[in-house]
Chains A and B, each alone.
Chain A
Amino acid sequence: MSKTQKAPGGVRSKGLTDYLNDENVRAVIYQIVAIALVILAGWYLVSNTLANLERQNISTGYGFLNLEASFGISESMIDYTPQSNYATALMVGFLNTVKVAFLGIILCTIIGTIFGVARLSSNWIVRKLATVYVETFRNIPVLLQLFFWYAIIPNAFPAARNAFQPLPDVLLTNRGMYIPVPVADNAYDFMGIAAIIAFIVIYFINKWATKRLDATGQPFPIVWASLGIFFGLVLIAYLIGGAPTAMDIPALKGFNIQGGYNISPEFMSVLIGLTIYTSTYVAEVVRSGIQAVPTGQWEAAESLGLKRSIALRKIILPQSMRVAIPPLTNQYLNLTKNSSLAVAVGYPDLVSVSNTTMNQTGQAIEAISIYMAVYLGLSLTTSLFMNWFNKKMALVER
């Protein structure tokens, strides 16, 4: 207890104990002590680690990134051979992670939304089927699901020599799916540029149409116009490019099917596993989002004479988005992080390549620090994007 008492008619000068008893001063002291302890602990761990690495004669630093990797990687979006260096190998892993996470996020959103809406369907069978889907795949650990898909694919499909052809020139084998792709040609570059131009044109037409709708109430068939512009421009570019028709068709050659584009069983397992698992959570998010919109909104829309589809698109979904976006962000982050499980089924993602690197070079701490930083970066990027999207969708207070 403080003995400080104001003597009538005079102010007692403050002593040390007064400072120590001051709440604000104490708060500052506690914080300084806490920070000092954290720094001390950190310094202790780091210096010990360095001392021990030194004692075991393990070199530290990121110099190893320039050494030749000398191991093979099965699938790569950039040029990679065993002669490439470790930095390139890690880049291959990183791009593979991004590829599977990006496609996974898109697919799980589509599938999740379908099942989320289906769970609210008035049709009993549809509703129950959706419930069974969600409850089954949500409650099985995702690693087991990956193992499951990876066990299914090599066993369910035929060997390369008697590949199954669901469509002409599309081959399904236990080595994955092979699809024909066009042989590289200038025309495809033109088509890419045309697509970008089309998107810009569509963006401005969209803006103009909205403005006109607000001003005059005249709707504009924006969907058809956009499709027309997109395909029209791309087609024109294709014709200007000389309309190449050469295709790289997969065919059996030697042990394997050569040519075409190969979607490996490892990639399929990871993509299917992650997509299905995450889609169940997305379904729940969508369902809860829709249910969060009061029924009064439906009724109000109906009383204005709006069609049910218009009411869903213009009234209900924009409002449910506000509820759904933050938990959706979580699911996207989960999917990205879960993609590190790909190592279990041999998909060469960042973790898989880092593991190999760590093992061949002994640079465990460095390799782990790299992929931790990369996952953090990926997650923060996803987060930033979703926060931006959330802000855009949020209720504008007037």
Chain B
Amino acid sequence: MKMKTILAAGAMSVAAIAANNAHAGAALDGIKAKGFVQCGVNTGLPGFSAANAEGKWEGLDVDVCRAVAAALLGDAEKVQYTPMTAAQRFTALQSGEIDILSRNTTWTLTRDAKLGLTFGGVNYYDGQGFLVPKALGVSHATELDGATVCVEPGTTTELNLADYFRAKGMSFEPVVIENINETTAAFFAGRCDVYTTDASGLASVRQTMAPNPDDYVILPEIISKEPLGPAVAQGDDQWADLVRWSLMAMVEAEELGVNSGNVDDMKKSENPAIQRLLGVSPGMGEALGVDEEWAYRIIKQVGNYGESYKSNVTAKLGLERGLNALWTDGGLQYAIPVR
């Protein structure tokens, strides 16, 4: 099946690329014409992107897609989701199968410059960690020499893992399984001593998939920087801009204290930054190629960054803001000025 999928993807990419000989701005028109945003998400990572009991997708990554849909199409619900594995994601984006990839994807130089992607900012600052069973009796990553490690293929995680063990002069045996559900199942069955991915992913897996979360512990070492963010295919700057500024608008809204509850009142605010953001003083929407209410709709329908974080990451995984607090609170989230 895998083989076929990839062959089909290959054939499709050729066909889609051929069909989609784009000029700048074509993505915007195309998405408007079809009436929804095609969004590539994780197959299931609660807190970031996972379908809830009603089959509705929710999470921090999902909210980025919803924000873009709200800005461009006027309705945050006009999103269709394509769950994909780590190994499928870039091909899908390059071939035009999805419009935007919002799937806890690390921004790196190679991906930005060589894979034909454009990143739209960072919606989660993360780092790679290790999850081990308590029974293993390990308290530091430096004690992991000789361990068997479960990891997903095609990720920065896989590369950092090799780098880390090499740097520490330790050996490991990787078990590389394509689907995250199969990977975690193998880990919880004892196939591996260690499961490694971004710390947020570890928290999500431990919290939602472990038979008993208390039997597992996340080691204190964070071995890498993983700035996660949405990405689009290179070559259409207008579309990339819209994605970038939809995310920025959410952070800016939090900085300015605008949230989904008070956004209507805030329209009467005297603060010129708020007036610009909400389109009371026009210009921003026009520059992006959407109407002036774009950010208003994002905040009204999706909420600001803090709201999205709280209802997804904090509520489901119990993770505090940490690095993802606003810069004014000692974190790294810093909106580029909307002006």
Contact = CB atoms under 8 A, between A and B. Distances in A.
Bound pair (A, B): yes
Interface of A: 44-45, 48-49, 51-53, 55-59, 70-74, 82-83, 143, 147, 150-151, 154-155, 159, 174-175, 253-256, 258, 265-266, 337, 340-341, 343-346, 348, 351-352, 355-356, 358-362, 364-365, 368, 372
Contacts of A345: 177, 182
B176 A360 contact: no
Contacts of A348: 176
A359 B191 CA distance: 25
A368 B94 contact: no
Contact of A174 (B154, B185, B190): B190
Contacts of A71: 153, 158-159, 162, 174
A62 to B, nearest CB: 15
B26 to A, nearest CB: 11
Contacts of A154: 186, 189-191
Contact of A341 (B3, B20, B21): B3
Given A48-B18, A254-B145, A53 B116 contact: yes
Nearest to B89: A359
B148 interface: yes
Contacts of A48: 17-18, 21
Given A159-B190, A345-B177, A72 B161 contact: yes
Nearest to B153: A356
Interface in B1-60: 1-3, 6-7, 9-10, 13-15, 17-18, 20-22
Contact of A364 (B2, B94, B173, B233): B94
A70 B189 CA distance: 27
B146 A355 contact: no
Contacts of B161: 72
Interface string B212-228: 00000000000000000
A255 B136 contact: yes
The 3 A-B residue pairs whose C-beta atoms are closest, nearest first, are A359-B154, A56-B116, A362-B115
B178 A58 contact: no
B43 to A, nearest CB: 13
Nearest to A173: B190
Contacts of B233: 56
A73 B166 CA distance: 14
Given A256-B193, A362-B116, 7 more contacts: A56-B94, A72-B161, A151-B189, A256-B147, A351-B2, A355-B153, A362-B114
Contact of A356 (B2, B94, B166, B176): B176
B209 to A, nearest CB: 15
Contact of A74 (B14, B163, B173, B235): B173
A74 B171 CA distance: 11
B191 A82 contact: no
A256 B86 CA distance: 28
B91 interface: yes
Nearest to A254: B146
Contacts, number: 174
A359 B148 CA distance: 23
A364 B91 contact: yes
A337 B71 CA distance: 46
B290 interface: no
Nearest to B19: A48
B208 interface: no
A356 B234 CA distance: 21
Contacts of A45: 14-15, 18
Contact of B18 (A49, A254, A265, A359): A49
Contacts of A51: 21
B162 A70 contact: yes
For B15, B86, B145, B176, which residue has the most chain A Cβ atoms within 10 angstroms? B176
26 contacts: A48-B18, A52-B17, A55-B235, A56-B94, A57-B113, A57-B114, A70-B159, A70-B162, A83-B166, A151-B185, A175-B148, A254-B146, A254-B147, A255-B146, A255-B147, A341-B2, A343-B2, A344-B177, A344-B178, A346-B182, A358-B91, A359-B153, A362-B110, A362-B111, A365-B14, A372-B7
